[in-house]
Structure formats: C-alpha cells, structure tokens
Amino acid sequence: MDRRDFMKLASLAGMSIAGAPLLGRAEHGELVDHGRHQAAGDDDYTGPLFVTVQAHGGWDPTLLCDPKGNDLNRSYNVGDIGTAGNIRYAPIASAAAFFGAHYTRMMVINGVDTATNAHDAGQRNCASGRLGEGYPNIAALVAGAGAPQRPMSFISFGPYDRTGGLVAPVRNGNNARLADLSFPDRRNAEDPAAGTYHTETAHAMIRLAREKRAQAMLESNRLPRFRHAISSMLTARSGSKELQRLQDVLPEPHTNALFRQAQLVVAAYKAGIGVSGNLFHSNFDTHGDHDNQQSARMNEIVGLVSFLWEEAERQGVADKLTVLMCSDFGRTPQYNGNAGKDHWSITSMIAMGAGIPGNTVVGMTNDGHDAIPLDPATKQPAADPAQGVRITPAHVHRGLRRVLGLEGSDADRLFPIVLDDELDPFAV
C-alpha cells in the first residue's frame, strides 16, 4: 500500500498510528471491510475462536517439540525421545498425553528465528509477527477484524496484548461480579424482582440521549485522539448489553487460575460476546536450575492448552478453535554456570486447530539448535544454505492470517507483513 492510501485508510478508520483508536463502525456509519468475518447488525460473526498462548520468558523447545537429547539436554537421552505421528517430543511428564491427544490437529514449526534476545522484542515478535513496535497481537487482529463491538471481543491475561487500536482489550477480575456487570440497571443484579434504578422507559431515554450526544461530539470534533475515544466508547456501549449472555454459559470457576483463563475465553465465544483470547503463563526465563524449572513450566503450559481443548469440546466450539503457542525466544544450547540456560534467538512455535494442517513439522534445527535455512518452495533444507530462508515469526503470522481469513482485510493492510519470499508454513 502506498503512503497516500495508508493515510486515507488510517484517517477513514479514525485510527491512531502511534496510539490506539478503533476501526469501529460507529465512526463513519458504514462498515469497514474487516475481512471474511464481517460484523453487521446484531452480529453474525461465525469466524474462528483464536487463542494465543504465550510462554513468557523464553521457553526451551528442546524440552518440548524440538528434542535433542544430546549435550543440549541433561535431563534425557536421545533414546527417550517420543513420537506422535510425525511429531517428535521431549520426554517431559505431560508430553506423551499432550502430543498423543493433539498431534492430528497440530503443526510444529521448529527453527524459528526471532532475531532477538530481548524479552520485550521477543514477545512482540511472538504475538504479532513483528520485531519492532506498533503491531497488534494476532488475537487482537482477529477480534478487531471480526467483531470489535463484542463486549469481551479480545480477552487478555498478560503481555504482549497491544491491539493497534483495532479492539479494546478486556481483563479479567472477580468473576463473582459478572452479574453486577451484566445487569447494570438492576438495583440487585442477582434479583430481577428488585427492580431497576429508573423505569425501563427512563433507561431507554437515557441511553438514547447519551448516544445522540456522543454522535454529536464525534461529528464536531476533529482531533483524532478525541474522535477515537468517543468512538471506542460508542463501540463499547453498543455491545455491552450482550454481556448478560455470559451468565448462561460460564462454568463454575476452576481451582486452577490458568485454567480459568481458558474457561472465560471459551465461554465468551460460546456466548457470542467474545472472539479471541491471549493466555499467558510466566517464569520460563530459566537462567538457573533450568531442567527442573523449565520442565515444570512446560508441563503447566501443555496442561493449560489441553484444558483449553477440553473446554472447547465441552462448550461445543472446538471446531472453531485455532491456537498459537509461542514464546519470546528460545534457550541456549549450552548450560551456564548455574545449571541454567540463557537467551537464544532460535525457538519453536506450535499451531493447532481449525485451518492448520495437522501432524506436520515445518522447519528444523541442527544438533546445535541453530536454524537450518529452507527452500521456500519445498520447505525442505535448502541445497545452498546461503540461498535458503530462515523461518521467522513473520512467516508464521503471514501464513496464519491467510488461514484465519484476514488476508487482504483492512486490518491486514494497515499492519502488513511484508517478506521477500513466499515461504508459508501452512501452505499444503
């Protein structure tokens, strides 16, 4: 897209390039093309339930989906490496069950070059496909392109959760208060018989007056930051009534705090008020006692993803679920003096679910856990490494956008991923 078109699109969308306004339909009275899953009227979004699962701190793929078992790993040997279909996995406690249950819906992408050892940059790259600042988490991109007006369109439990102004993120709090939030007009949220603060007619009059006043302010103000704020408020209000639907599908909170993340994201989608989620688990930055700490965190995160799938099955939306697991970067091939591993820019990503070719492994690393350049056409090791392509998070995200139906949408064009080659991990 050239500079002029970009300015025009950004201005039409009321978008802030540096900050964060919305591609909201309240802005200009007509729908911006958000991609295949265009929101309209009472919301007919039928697109994916997309979830990023971020392992914060830099996970070690050799303790999950890119096992080595040589000097790189003191906790197991080559002979201990397991397989599920075409996928090899490290023998950590939960791995066999995890890969056994999900390999048919899973693509492992090894040898992903994040090109950084810095946490902030790595998290951005993992979640958005871009090393530099300013791009949204892909889950926010999906929500913003699909149904930004939903009251819990994008639920985030941790960094990196920038939205690029496409959608307002939602944080979780005390779920016991959701009734209060779902029925803000009731004097007692749990008891409809207790009545409302004003009559139903008065509440309707208040809402109408607010909307008209906000529209008038939007039409009269020219500064983008103000237009954005008013627009995002209008958009937030337009879907907020639907929060009530969550009450019907939200299960009893799980005792595991990580699993509660998954429950909320799935329930929100099921209730028609959510689109995507950014799940988060931390403490992968194992500069000391690596084998014990990293294995424990890996077991927890695969447990989270397994539970996510179970919950999606239970809620009847598993066929819509697509998951991306990733981390800031990887861990060094060698141990440091504290039995730890330090930052290493080569990592792995795992994609699962709807639209993802299952039982596949793309990309590879050598015995020293360095990335092997690929032939972009065949995705096999390049005959001449100097001519090959190293997979980056940008390749993964570009391919994912295609799988998710975002390619060519306004959101995709505003945050383009531009590469010199055609390597697409997800192209069959």
Partner 1 sequence: MLDAGSVLTALILASCYAGNDDDPKGQEGGADQGNDDPDEIEGPDECVDTKNYFREDVWAPLLSTKCFACHNPGGQAAKSNLVLQGTDYPGYVEANYQTVQNIARLEIEGVSLLLLKPSAAIEHGGGVQIEPDSPEYELLSEMVERFDAPVHCVDDSDIKAFYADIEVLDEVGTLRKAVFDIAGRMPTPEEIAMVEGKGLAAIDPVLDVVMHEDAFYVRIKEIYNDVMHTDAYLVGDDAVGTVDMTRFPNARWFDMLPEEQIADARNKTNDAIAREPLEIIASVVSRDRPFSEVLTANFTLVNPWSARSYGISLDHFTDPNDPNEWKPATFDGFPHSGLLTTSVFLNRYPTTPTNRNRARSRVFYKFFLATDVLRLAARPIDVSSIADFNPTLYNPNCSVCHDYVDPLAGAFQNFDDTGRYRPENQWFTDMRPPGFEDIQIPYEANQTALQWLVPHLVADEKFALSVVHTVYTGLTGQEPLLEPIDADAPDYLQRIKAFEAQDYTFKQIAQAFSEQNQEIRVVFKELVKTEWYRAVDSEVPLSDERTAELQDMGTAHLLSPEMLHRRIIATTGVPWRRGDTSVLLSADFFKFFYGGIDSASVTTRLTEMNGVMANIADRMSNEVACLATANDFAKPVDQRLLFPLVERGALPGTPEGDDAIRANVQHLHEHLLGEVLDDDDPEIDRTIALFEAVLDDGRTRLVDPIAPLPTALAGACQSTMDPATGMPWPPGMEVVEDADYTVRAWMAVVTYLLGDYRYLYE
Q: How far is the CB of 197 from partner 1 (least distance, A)?
A: 4
- Can you tell me which of 40, 93, 97, 202 binds partner 1, judged by CB under 8 A? 202
If phi over 0 gives left and psi between -120 and 50 gives alpha, with beta otherwise, what is residue 118? beta
Closest CA to 394 of 116, 19, 7: 116
Closest CA to 231 of 20, 1, 8, 9: 20
Contact between 361 and partner 1 by CB under 8 A: the answer reads no
When asked if residue 40 is in the footprint of partner 1 (CB under 8 A), the reply is no
* Residue 387 is a binding residue for partner 1 (CB under 8 A): no
> Contact region for partner 1 (CB under 8 A) — 47-55, 82-90, 130-138, 303-311?
130-138
| Contact positions with partner 1 (CB under 8 A) in 224-243 | 224-226, 228-230, 232-233, 236-237, 239-240, 242-243
CA distance 229 to 239: 16
3-state helix, strand, coil in the chain (%, to 5): 40, 15, 45
CA dihedral 354, 319, 63, 292 (to 10 degrees): 150
Q: In the complex with partner 1, which residue's Cβ is closer, 21 or 399?
A: 21
Whose tokens are 């790993």? That residue is 73
Q: Which stretch binds partner 1 (CB under 8 A): 79-87, 95-103, 222-230, 297-305?
A: 222-230
Closest approach of partner 1 to the CB of residue 67, in Å: 20
Q: In terms of Cα–Cα distance, which of 279, 258, 358 is closest to 51?
A: 279
The 159-198 contact track toward partner 1, x by CB under 8 A, reads x---x----xxxxxxx--x--xxx-xx-x-------x-xx
Residue 20 binds partner 1, judged by CB under 8 A: yes
CB of 252 to partner 1, least distance (A): 18
Instruction: Using the minimum distance from each CB to partner 1, give the nearer residue, 232 or 360.
Output: 232
Shortest gap between Cβ of 353 and partner 1 (angstroms)? 25
How many residues would you count in the chain? 428
Question: Is 120 in a helix, a strand, or coil?
Answer: helix
The residue from 81, 96, 101, 131 that contacts partner 1 (CB under 8 A) is 131
Q: Does 145 bind partner 1 (CB under 8 A)?
A: no
The pattern of x and - marking residues 57 through 86 that bind partner 1 according to CB under 8 A reads ------------------------------
| Of positions 8, 28, 74, 314, contacts partner 1 by CB under 8 A | 8
Report if residue 88 touches partner 1, rule: CB under 8 A.
no
Is residue 320 within 8 A of residue 356, CB to CB? The reply is no
Instruction: Kindly determine how many residues on this chain lie close enough to bind partner 1 according to the rule CB under 8 A.
Output: 96
Measuring CA to CA, how many Å separate 42 from each of 24, 182, 234, 242, 394?
15, 18, 15, 10, 34
Asked whether position 408 contacts partner 1 by CB under 8 A, the answer is no
Of residues 257-316, those binding partner 1 (CB under 8 A): 273, 282, 287-288
Report DSSP letters for 150-168, one per residue: STEEEEESSSS---TTSS-
Residue 11: strand, helix, or coil: helix
* Site mask for partner 1 (CB under 8 A), range 101-120, x = bound: ------------x-xxxxxx
222: contact with partner 1 by CB under 8 A: yes
Question: Where are the strands (E) in 328-415, listed by range?
Answer: 330-331, 343-344, 346-353, 360-362
Nearer to partner 1, 40 or 97 (CB): 40
Report which of 358, 360, 351, 354 is spatially closest to residue 324, judged by C-alpha positions. Answer: 351
β pairing state of 106-113 and 346-353: antiparallel
Question: How would you class 271 by CB atoms within 10 Å of its CB: exposed for 0-12, middle for 13-18, buried for 19 or more?
Answer: buried
Q: Of 192 and 316, which has the nearer Cβ to partner 1? A: 192
Contact in structure between 136 and 162 (CB atoms under 8 Å): yes
Least gap, CB of 147 to partner 1 (angstroms): 11
Positions in 332-351 near partner 1 (CB under 8 A): 336-338, 340, 342, 344-346
Residue of 22, 318, 321, 423 that binds partner 1 (CB under 8 A): 22
